[in-house]
Amino acid sequence: MRDQVREKIAGEICLSEEPGKTIRKWREQFSISQQDLSKHLGVSPSVISDYEAGRRKSPGITTVRKLVDAFIGIDERSGGNVLKQYSLAGKADSIISIKEFSAEILVPELVDAIEGENLTPAISLDKHIHGYTVIDSVRAITTLSSFDYLKIYGWSSQRALIFTGVRFGRSPMIAIRAHPLKPALVVYQKPEHVDELAIRLAELEGIPLIKTTLAVSDLVENLQTLG
């Protein structure tokens, strides 16, 4: 479990377009201050601050490994509570399908594959994604724990979260806005009606919101041909 989490975090930082922000996100996930992290690493707090603010050149893989090992090491010294939450074993009951692409793809490729309609045209689709997760939204609302919520992101948050059984789309976007992990793309499968609040929340987060009318079986079949 430790190695899985270690590789997940390191991979996300290395693949991120803004590694400094991703470092800060994971530091905050582990509830570690810049001072405690710098002390553990034997560097000045300004070094951590500069990385997170993008004032210092993006860290190489060696530095990323040290940062990730520090996150996990500090957590283990206090009982490993955060590490336990990030266990990647098993699949949440609400997950219909999940895949990591062997090679990243551009968002428009996925949108075309699912015959999607862009509900947030002001947000650029010019970004890469590394996978997708198809989620039963009704099951997610009724059964998804905070522990299971982490599983929907697989090995990278740079993915499409695709929600089935959506009525108005408010709940998925509220959940995404409330959690520090953010997907690259959100898709609603056959929503009854997409509430303006859902669109507004997507715009505030800078996350493209797509609608598809494909049946779940056809949606999953088309997605499996990607990446």
- The domain containing residue 181 runs over which residues? 95-223
Q: What is the largest CA-CA distance in the chain?
A: 55
Q: Say what percent of the chain tops pLDDT 70.
A: 92
**What are the pLDDT digits (tens) for 28-69?**
888 999 999 999 999 999 999 999 999 998 888 889 999 999
* Phi, psi (deg, nearest 5) at residue 10: -60, -45
Asked if residue 77 is part of any domain, the answer here is yes
pLDDT band at 142 (very low <50, low <70, confident <90, very high): low
Structure tokens at 115: 């015959």
Global confidence as pTM? 0.62
- Domain membership of residue 78 (yes or no) is yes
Q: Which two tokens stand for residue 15?
A: 């693949």
Lowest pLDDT segment from 70-79, 93-102, 149-158, 195-204:
149-158
Summarize pLDDT for 158-203 with one digit per residue, the tens: 899 999 989 898 888 988 888 878 899 999 999 999 999 999 999 9
Position 70 scores a pLDDT of 95
Q: Do 38 and 20 fall into the same domain?
A: yes
From CA 170, how far away is CA 175, in angstroms rounded?
9
| Residue 127 confidence (pLDDT) above 70 | yes
Last residue of a domain, one of 61, 85, 109: 85
Gyration radius of the chain's alpha carbons: 18
Determine, yes or no, domain membership for 42: yes
Q: Which of 207, 190, 129, 189 is nearest to 198 (CA)?
A: 207
Distance CA(55)–CA(20), nearest Å, equals 9
Most confident of 12-21, 83-92, 143-152, 162-171: 162-171
Question: What is the Cα–Cα distance from 172 to 195, expressed in whole angstroms?
Answer: 11
Going by pLDDT thresholds of 50, 70 and 90, the confidence category of residue 89 is very low
Average pLDDT, the chain: 87
Find the helix or strand (DSSP H, E) in which 84 lies. Answer: helix 81-85
Tell me the CATH number at 73. Answer: 1.10.260.40
Q: Is residue 90 part of a domain?
A: no
Binned at pLDDT 50, 70 and 90, residue 147 comes out as: low
78 and 101 housed in the same domain? no
Q: How far apart are CA 222 and CA 159, in angstroms?
A: 16
pLDDT reading at 144 higher than 70: no
**215 phi/psi in degrees, rounded to 5:** -65, 155
Q: What's residue 88's pLDDT? A: 47
How many domains does the structure of the chain reveal? 2
Task: Give the closest residue to 68 by CA, choosing from 18, 15, 3.
Answer: 3
Given a cut of 60, whether residue 90 has pLDDT beyond it is: no
CA triple 105-169-135, angle to 5 deg: 50
Residue 143 has a CB neighbour count (10 Å cut-off) of 12
31 with 103, same domain?
no
Q: Across-strand partners of 133?
A: 98, 161
Mean pLDDT of 201-226: 95
Per-residue buried b or exposed e for 69-104, using 16+ beta carbons within 10 Å of the residue's own CB? bbbbebbeeeeeebbeebeeeeebebbbbbbebeee
The secondary structure of residue 190, as a DSSP letter, is: S
Q: Is the pLDDT of residue 103 over 90?
A: no
